[in-house]
Amino acid sequence: MKERKKVYSIREQPGEYQNGHLSPFKFGKLFDPEASWDKDQLGDVLHWIRQVVALICGLLWGAIPLVGGIWIIVFLAISSGIVYGYYAIILKTDEEDFGGHGALLQEGLFASITLFLVLKKVLFAVVSL
């Protein structure tokens, strides 16, 4: 007699769902160098780290009316340094498994630049009234 493999529906997959809901993300994994990451998970985390940095820098530099293109370069340096420090020093990941430094440093870059510039310009305009 053939053994039948159990086919899971989307709601029944073990480990991913609990009571029909997605299991909560474990924040302890964010600082665990032994945790396993797939490319999409690490990309999402790097993307959102960069967005938080853009939010903070955009609000701060818009409130303190800092003008000039040098501040965009300073933002890029700070943002890229934090992302690099996170995946290279905190997580100790092998960047070649995820497409190299370029792919990891590019994750969320353009969205964060846009968020930074919009927040900085809007807040600068409000403060300058």
- Centre a 10 Å sphere on the Cβ of residue 108 and count the other Cβ atoms it contains: 22
pLDDT of residue 6: 47
Predicted confidence band of residue 21 (pLDDT cuts 50, 70, 90): low
Token pair recorded at residue 85: 């420090």
Packing angle between helix 70-84 and helix 109-127, nearest 10 degrees?
A: 140
> Residue ranges per domain, the chain?
26-127
**Minimal CA–CA distance to 57: which of 66, 48, 44?**
66
- In this predicted structure, the answer to whether residue 70 has a pLDDT above a threshold of 80 is yes
- In this predicted structure, the answer to whether residue 36 has a pLDDT above a threshold of 80 is yes
Asked whether the beta carbons of 128 and 65 are under 8 A apart, the reply is yes
What letter does residue 69 receive in the DSSP assignment? T
Token pair recorded at residue 38: 């797939």
Q: What's the whole-number mean pLDDT along residues 29-46? A: 88
Per-residue DSSP letters for 11-68? GG-TTTEETTEEPPP-GGGGG-TTS---HHHHHHHHHHHHHHHHHHHHHHHHHTT--S
Higher pLDDT, 28 or 127: 127
Q: What's the whole-number mean pLDDT along residues 77-103? A: 93
Token pair recorded at residue 42: 């690490």
